[in-house]
Structure 1
Amino acid sequence: MSDQGPPAVVAGEKDTLLTFMRYLREAIIRKAEGLPDDIARRSGLPTGASPLGLLKHLTGVEVVWLEWAFLGRDPFPELGMDVVETDTVASCVAAYRAAAARADAIWATLDDLDAVSAREDRTLRWILVHTVEELARHAGHMDVMREMIDGSAGR
């Protein structure tokens, strides 16, 4: 796995943050792709997190802050990391990509980063920065797991 450094971007606040969010999504997906399903289901960390579990969690994260908290849509998404035998790398990556595409479509319609969310006392700016933070934190977890599994390093 070759290292893919952070994106070079000259843009405003929202576009810069969205560019880093998309970069982190792809880094996370790259860490899961190529793993055998049975290995991707296993936890290698004391917390019990697995590559597929993190993908499932992040699928919910893409929905919870933007759709549930900011827009006030129901239902509250699943945020757990539980993995079942039928979960595969392909199915979890596809679900994550679909949630990310749905989020990107919503982000494209939102311009006022000072707008306050429907359910939480948070601005859209806070939600965007927090989403980037959540992805960055879990990208680090995926880095560690992948290196423990097969020695692969890089973003």
Structure 2
Amino acid sequence: MASERKTLVDLLASNRAEILELLDGLTEEEARRSLVPSLTTLLGLVKHAAFAEQVWFHVTLPGRTRAELGVPDDIDDSFRLAPDDTIASIGENFRKVCAESDRQAFDHDLDDTGTHARRGPVSLRWMYVHMIEELARHAGHGDILREQILAAREA
């Protein structure tokens, strides 16, 4: 019987943990392995999750620009891996981005709004619900990719 805010924060934290768990016990090659025609890889999903956090909590909520923060404009760029991206570096960045997201949201009420370039004004409540949905969807994608990768180990 937690408050609405605590429920949203806890569900988001749970989904964040599931995103990070996608990389548990994988080799660098496995984390980068491409199994679908898109740019989606397990490491790319975690990198994209950090991008989504930044778009909503670092840009939209405080009214900053992507350019100010170095957040890509092209969503595909959020999945592209640089040669020096590793499980450790992408995981650490995701944790750092999530901590900053929590700091940004802390001083705002759920009804406070930010303006998104495409969607217009959205409340912090909406941002929480959207990020819960976004991370849950991508964790599901990642579960399927991870299952395929782990099955290939045994083949």
The TM-score normalised by the length of structure 1 is 0.84
| Equivalent residues, number | 141
- Taking the aligned partners of 2:105 and 2:111, their CA distance within structure 1 comes to 14
Partner in structure 2 of residue 114 of structure 1: 111
Residue 66 of structure 2 aligns to a residue whose secondary structure is: coil
Unmatched 5+ stretches in structure 1: 1-9
Q: Which amino acid aligns with 1:148?
A: Q
Residue 86 of structure 1 aligns to a residue whose secondary structure is: coil
Q: Report 1:88-103 matches (<5 A).
A: 88-103=86-101
**Are 2:126 and 1:129 equivalent residues in the alignment?**
no
Partner in structure 1 of residue 33 of structure 2: 42
- Taking the aligned partners of 1:63 and 1:141, their CA distance within structure 2 comes to 21
| Aligned partner (choices 9, 26, 36) of residue 17 of structure 2 | 26
Moved more, 96-105 or 69-78: 69-78
Offset from partner CA, 1:27-75 (integer Å, 9 cap, x none): 1111112211112112112323001111111111111012211211133
Residue 112 of structure 2 aligns to a residue whose secondary structure is: coil
- Taking the aligned partners of 2:16 and 2:141, their CA distance within structure 1 comes to 13
Residue 48 of structure 1 aligns to a residue whose secondary structure is: coil
Unmatched 5+ stretches in structure 2: none
Shift of residue 141 of structure 1?
Answer: 0.8
Shift of residue 149 of structure 1?
Answer: 0.4
- The structure with the greater share of residues assigned to strand is 2
Q: Which amino acid aligns with 1:124?
A: L
Cα RMSD (Å): 1.5
- The structure with the greater share of residues assigned to helix is 2
- Taking the aligned partners of 2:132 and 2:141, their CA distance within structure 1 comes to 14
Q: Which amino acid aligns with 1:104?
A: D
Shift of residue 84 of structure 1?
Answer: 2.2
